[in-house]
Amino acid sequence: MGRRPFSLYPLLLLLALQSMGGIYGGICLTLSPSGNIIQMPLSMLDGSPFANFLIPGLILLLLLGLFPSFVVWALIIRPHWVWPDILNVYRGIHWAWTFSLYLGIMLVVWILVEIMFIRYDILQTIFGLWGVGIIIFALLPATMRFYGWKKG
């Protein structure tokens, strides 16, 4: 199994914190599509395809909240499941690693779409950099080797 590299711990931390934030924000927006719980005015959605925060809240909850918690668990446990490999574009490396890379990309894309549709806020920069951090820690050679990547 091998010893976990140091680079894995910041990756797990970034993903776990993303999960907690996504679950919290997603639940708040799903329970209150008006945005009242977290004091987000519906006017933020002017120019977006959404009339309220329900769909963005569900996306946030599922893709950027619950999914990262599943990936954190899978990165730690490394289950030998075949079915997730259907979505793994990198053969020979554990699917949990690939999913962590996907999550970093999803977070960056989420933030870019958010910037397109709602007003810019410093939080978008922070979460965009958060996604870049996930990508960087996933792509560090020690992390990749731990999950089965072999050079060449």
pLDDT digits (tens, 9 = 90+) for 99-126: 999 999 999 999 999 888 887 789 899 9
Taking all residues of the chain, what is their mean pLDDT, rounded to a whole number? 94
Of 142 and 123, the structure prediction assigns the larger pLDDT to: 142
Task: Tell if the pTM clears 0.85, that is, is over it.
Answer: yes
Q: For 109, what's the count of Cα atoms within 13 Å in the CB-facing half-sphere?
A: 10
pLDDT digits (tens, 9 = 90+) for 58-94: 999 999 999 999 999 999 999 999 999 999 999 899 9
pLDDT digits (tens, 9 = 90+) for 5-35: 999 999 999 999 999 999 999 999 999 999 9
Q: Read off the pLDDT band of 47 (50, 70, 90).
A: confident
